[in-house]
Amino acid sequence: MRLYNTLSRSEEPFSPGPDNTVRMYTCGLTVYARGHIGNFRTFVCVDVLRRTFKYLLGYRVKQVVNFTDVDDRTIAGALKAGMDLRSYTDQYIAAFRDDARSLGLEPAEETPRATDEANLRAMASMIAALDKNGHTYRSDGSIYYRISTLPAYGRLARLDHEGMKDGARVDSDSYAKEDARDFVLWKGHRDGEPSWEFPQLGVTPGRPGWHIECSAMALRLLGESPIDIHAGGVDLIFPHHENEIAQSEGATGKPFSRFWIHVEYLIVDEQKMSKSLGNTYTISDVVAKGFRPSAVRLLLLSAHYRKQLNFTWDSLAAMEESLRRLTDFLARLGAVTRAGMHAEVSARVDEARKQFVDAMQDDLNTAAALGAIFELVRYLNSAIDSGQLGTGDVPGIRDTFAQFDRVLGVLSLRQAEDDRPPVPVDEIERLIEERHAARRRRDFAAADGIRSGLAARGVLLEDSAGATRWKRK
């Protein structure tokens, strides 16, 4: 498999570490608000990368996805809400877990919180190591990283060393690219903020800066440097990931991560998401519009992860239609009764499988992989129509689509949604029988009323060959 490495700005062959294991860290949410669809583009793409390693290449995966539950924004949000920090961030962690389940994300092996005691101790130990190696200084009760002590600082973000402000400090957790300055590792105590005390730091109680959190959690949970993959959105390249490298490599003297994978922005109606524009949609917002999370997942995979993706409600409706094409095709396979197997069908299925595998190993090209799937569906639908697909062909086709879905995770998600319809299944089945009875007595108004009533509740009825099947709207 080849992956684009932001550090080298080139595609490189990827192989796992010892024991065929991929050690992967993904920067998770800063839990001061509910995650939006832009956040979840990263998480869905990384989930498919994880699935590609496991189900396509047979690797083991150990993944860490963190929750940043102490930083400038979480503290400000908790103060504004009049809540303690833990309770305030708990609600958004719970919301993330709900949204992740609804989008079919496989659970990561580790989901640490920055304020877990073991993680805070790891941060203090890393700061102590940086101090010992001459990378820090203290001022006003805080500890800062002196960027001039690491000559390679800025190579991930391609920073111009002439523009760096060595000796000028920045206390905020995020800042603009032109403000490459010494950054805070440990913030001295301020009124209204939570604080912790670690005597080895040699300063008064305080709390960690944002950047030290991920460096410490990654190495505590994944082991010695270098880890295999560090992933996140492109917005994290600077300052966050650049500073993670500085901290980790300044403390250990070893490269931090072999590969840096970054997912491009999701824009909305050709505009960047922002609260002022009211376009930072959550999964709940999308569901309230009548769409399903499986369509969101398909949309987020419809473009290559290194290309910007434009979200529109029309594009989401198109994904709903694409999913209907897939599920309707699979349903058609169940109606194939003509006996026999066909060599051409088998050859086309094998070709599509190869195209899919090649695309996924080509820097996770989900757009090309989906293209191969839909082209196969078009061919197989034509084969069914012309009587050139037999019952002997069906098991191999179903197995191939199951292989596709183990990696993409879209069809199984749609099936799970169908298994949880907006109307209880026993009620749907009862109403179908009542509708059949109404039609037998030629009470078509009652039959139409049952059908339209279910449609209004999100359930569509389809009649064919004397039988009725239902599906979600």
Question: pLDDT confidence of 215, banded at 50, 70, 90?
Answer: very high
How crowded is residue 329: how many other Cβ atoms within 10 Å of its Cβ? 18
Among 155-164, 202-211, 310-319, top mean pLDDT goes to 310-319
pLDDT digits (tens, 9 = 90+) for 146-182: 999 999 999 999 998 877 887 889 988 887 766 799 9
Q: In what order do the strands lie in the sheet with 21-26?
A: 60-65, 21-26, 227-233, 257-263
Following DSSP, what letter does each residue of 180-212 receive, concatenated? -EEEEEEEEP-TTS--B--GGG-S-SEEE-HHH
Give 339's Cβ-side CA count (13 Å radius).
Answer: 0
The percent of the chain in helix, strand and coil, each rounded to the nearest 5, is: 50, 20, 30
- Per-residue exposure over 162-183, b if at least 16 CB sit within 10 Å of its own CB, e if not: eebeeeebbbebbeeeeebbbb
Higher pLDDT, 274 or 148: 148
- Per-residue exposure over 379-412, b if at least 16 CB sit within 10 Å of its own CB, e if not: bbeebbeeebbbeebeeebeebbeebbebbbbbe
Q: What does the angle CA 217 – CA 102 – CA 47 come to, to the nearest 5 degrees?
A: 45
| SS3 call for 107 | coil
CA-CA distance, 315 to 291, in Å (whole number)? 11
Q: 192: closest CA among 75, 68, 33, 69? A: 75
What is the structure's pLDDT at 91?
A: 98
What is the structure's pLDDT at 14?
A: 98
Do 44 and 89 meet the contact criterion of CB atoms below 8 Å apart? no
What is the structure's pLDDT at 421?
A: 76
Do 40 and 99 meet the contact criterion of CB atoms below 8 Å apart? yes
pLDDT of 204 higher than 80: no
Percent of the chain with pLDDT over 90: 84
Task: Judge if pTM exceeds 0.95.
Answer: no
Q: 221: closest CA among 53, 66, 15? A: 66
Do 117 and 108 meet the contact criterion of CB atoms below 8 Å apart? no
pLDDT of 326 higher than 90: yes
CA-CA distance, 178 to 185, in Å (whole number)? 20
